[in-house]
Homo-oligomer: A and B are copies of this chain.
Amino acid sequence: MHNFFFPKSIAVIGATANPRKFGNAVTINILKNKNLESELFLVTQKSTEILGLKCYKSILEVPKDVDLAIILVPAKAVDGVIDQCIEKQVKRIIIVTAGFGEINQEGKKAEKRIAEKCAKVGIRVMGPNCVGIQNLDIGLNASFIQAAPPGIISMISQSGSFGCASFYAMERENLGCSKFANIGNKVDISFVEVLEFFREDPNSRIICIYMETIEDGREFLKSLKFIVPIKPVIVLKGGRTSSGMKAASSHTGSIATNYRMLKTSIKQAGAMLCENASDFITALKTFSFLPVPKGEKIGVLTNSGGSSVLFSDKAEEFNLKLAEFSDTLKERISPHLISLVKIENPLDMIGVAGEEQYYEITKAMLEDSEIDIVVPCLVVPPFLEMKSDEHYRGIIKAWNETGRLKPIIPLIFFGEDFEDLKKFAKKEKAPIFYTPYEAAYAIKMLVERLKLKN
């Protein structure tokens, strides 16, 4: 996989100056990074120069060795281009072109023929019907979608547009990617190869997978079992139902997999299996920002009875455990609370609680040996001249002062539109969770990971 993610030289075959074509998008995306060390060669019969770069009529004319050929010519021309790539002895090929196994049997045969041809000479192939790959560590966007924000997540996606949508969500949540591979119809490279590469890659600290179909299930699960103790792996499966499977088979041309069996196996392997796209992003956020706790006991503080009630419900629905406050903790926190407050867990400090209370109580809980996870719930108060980010500042101050050793789950109920809050979170590299469900789901993920480690 190294030559896919760290190519010294790339040839885009089917490059074009027409901005309404994917061959142009890939070229532009690669060239966006002025400091990219990979050398780029453009291949097309229609132009002699694109964006100041010389064009070659065929890959055979390229004067240097090519590590990675990215093919974007029309489906019927792919076969010929592949022959030239073989003759040129390129190391790796990505076939972006669609119109193969996902449309009909003929396409399936064609892609199989190509795979066999390449296998014979040891060229590995990604695709067809994919958007390409990205290695954000070296600023390489060899795909026709936007570059993911850089970070520590590495993603394998069977769907390119799922990657694209995820990147929008990651941007919003201040998450980022190390590497991204869209394996498309996976005529050769499939989940396992990429997964094994990510396992050894130190910058891939969290792995996530969007999967629709899998052929080499046994290999995949073996690989998963081996990687899960080292790094969290988050999986979303599309095609869980018969309607979804039908849609998936027309999407990537593969026969869908029995979800129930796969589900059990993936869970047994210790990966985190999400049931929808929002949970998938929540899981990525959780592992991007938070340490795995040492135990399961949750302490909750809030200015909003309603949100702690809803959080407690979800926590119990997820089999999570609320801590009993120790006498030591009660004594420590009581001076910071007004007399109306009942000292119990969840600790409802009512609407008057401000930055000071959030700081003191969060810190006390973080330093308490009977509490492993702290959930400061908040509805941003629209009254008493409170600043919309003051409580969160108090929470993060306490977290920073305690060395971020325990996970905190700042639940700011429907607080998505407070720009100062989000700016502060970005600066501090700290998460915000927006609903009681999301907060509880984050803890569920952390506790699953804890149990795996124990």
Chain A: residues with CB nearer than 8 A to chain B?
Answer: 19-22, 25, 98-99, 102-103, 144-146, 157-162, 164-166, 168-169, 171-172, 210, 212, 236, 238-244, 246-248, 250-252, 276-278, 281, 303-310, 312-317, 322, 340, 342, 344, 346, 348, 350-351, 379-385, 413-417, 435-437
Contact = CB atoms under 8 A, between A and B. Distances in A.
Name, among A159, A251, A313, A417, the residue most crowded by chain B CB atoms within 10 Å (CB to CB): A313
A22 B277 contact: no
Contact of A436 (B277, B307, B309, B340): B277
A316 B435 CA distance: 25
B382 A306 contact: no
A307 B451 CA distance: 32
Contacts of A212: 306, 309
Contacts of A314: 276
A243 B312 contact: yes
B165 A379 contact: yes
Nearest to A159: B306
Contact of A316 (B159, B243, B313): B243
A129 to B, nearest CB: 9
Contact of A340 (B99, B169, B383): B99
**List of 9 A-B pairs having minimum Cβ-Cβ separation, nearest first:** A159-B306, A251-B305, A161-B304, A244-B313, A162-B306, A241-B316, A146-B382, A238-B309, A243-B312
Nearest to A308: B247
27 contacts: A19-B385, A22-B351, A25-B383, A144-B351, A144-B383, A146-B382, A159-B305, A160-B306, A161-B305, A161-B351, A161-B413, A165-B304, A165-B414, A168-B414, A172-B417, A210-B306, A212-B306, A236-B310, A239-B309, A241-B317, A243-B312, A243-B316, A244-B312, A244-B313, A247-B348, A251-B306, A416-B416
A350 B246 contact: no
A262 to B, nearest CB: 13
A157 B251 CA distance: 45
A309 B244 contact: yes
Given A165-B306, A165-B413, A250-B342, 9 more contacts: A19-B385, A99-B340, A159-B305, A159-B306, A162-B310, A165-B415, A212-B309, A241-B312, A251-B309
A210 B310 CA distance: 11
A240 to B, nearest CB: 5
Contacts of A313: 238-241, 243-244
